[in-house]
Amino acid sequence: MSATIIDGKLISAQIKDELKEKTAVLKAKGIEVTLAVVLVGEDPASQVYVRNKKKACEYVGFKSLSYELPAETSQEELLKLIDELNGRDDVDGILVQMPLPSHINEKAVIDAIDPSKDVDGFHPMNVGALCIGEEGFVSCTPAGVIQLLKRGCEGNISIAGKECVIVGRSNIVGKPMALLMLRENATVTVAHSKTANLKEVCKRADILIAAVGKASMITADYVKEGAIVIDVGINRNADGKLCGDVAYDEVKEIASAITPVPGGVGPMTIAMLMNNCYEAAVRKAQEK
């Protein structure tokens, strides 16, 4: 039997609609949510991402401030802008689109963002908070995967006690994903390019999360019958077609549930960014 498709487009739309309602309630209390979006250079993919983030802000009722800086912008100039945005009471969230031009140190930029405005959840303070179970901002893509698991399959997926294998150990996806699944009481394995017997390790998974960045690498022989398969990858195959890390057509015949690419994890990232911005504004208002 073919797997149930977990529809990220639909679930992200639900989350954005919920946020739209909650944002209207805040607005009625005189609180406006504002996201500052910073783009350095003219990378076409980044331009698309930034445009979509600004569109999502408009949809849910946030104000977005846009800073589109030339590729030659110095690190000092960028840090000065971040400092200014950190100090502005009317800015709730700051997003600096990655990757940055090679003359700018990404870590220095991430570290400069006020953790209470770090809606990407990249600052070491927020990563540390996630690690020890304190309140903070969680990286949007792994947070989106949790929502897909909680809301997909009519809310019938249980995570607690399940074997979860995550393939990939990046700071943005693999590592925070492991911490989030642990928080949900899964038994978590993080596999990576050096893992021995990767196929066998993946085959243990009740929930298999692929975040490797290799087109269609997870074939049917990596997947246990009835597993839930989440595909974080966004790659182009030899024909230039968008595809995930999972060989979708064959894996969907074995899995019990699966996310497609596109239309799975992708749209969730922006929805969770909107959620983090909303939370930033609410937390700021509570401090006053």
280 binds ligand GUN (CB under 6 A): no
Task: Compute the least distance from the CB of residue 221 to ligand GUN, in Å.
Answer: 30
Active site residue 90: no
What is the number of H-type helices and E-type strands within the chain?
A: 10, 11
CB count within 10 Å of CB 35 equals 27
Our CB check for ligand GUN shows the closer of 98 and 220 to be 98
Active site residue 120: yes
Q: Which of residues 100-139 bind ligand GUN (CB under 6 A)?
A: 120
Q: Which of residues 245-274 bind ligand GUN (CB under 6 A)?
A: 269
Catalytic residue from among 7, 92, 97, 224: 97
Q: Distance (Å, rounded) from C-alpha 1 to C-alpha 287?
A: 52
**Contact partners, residue 200, CB within 8 Å, separation at least 6:** none
Active site residue 97: yes
Q: Which of residues 81-100 bind ligand GUN (CB under 6 A)?
A: 95-98
Our CB check for ligand GUN shows the closer of 21 and 68 to be 68
Task: Compute the least distance from the CB of residue 52 to ligand GUN, in Å.
Answer: 11
Catalytic residue from among 7, 120, 206, 245: 120
Residue pair 217/205 in contact by the 8 Å Cβ criterion: no
Encoded tokens for 211 = 């975040």
Catalytic residue from among 53, 162, 175, 224: 53
Distance of CA 213 to the CA centre of its chain: 15
Of 36, 37, 40, 170, nearest to 104 by C-alpha is: 40
Q: Where are the alpha helices (DSSP H) in 32-74?
A: 44-60
- What are the catalytic residues? 53, 97, 120
Q: Catalog residues that contact ligand GUN under the rule CB under 6 A.
A: 95-98, 120, 140, 269
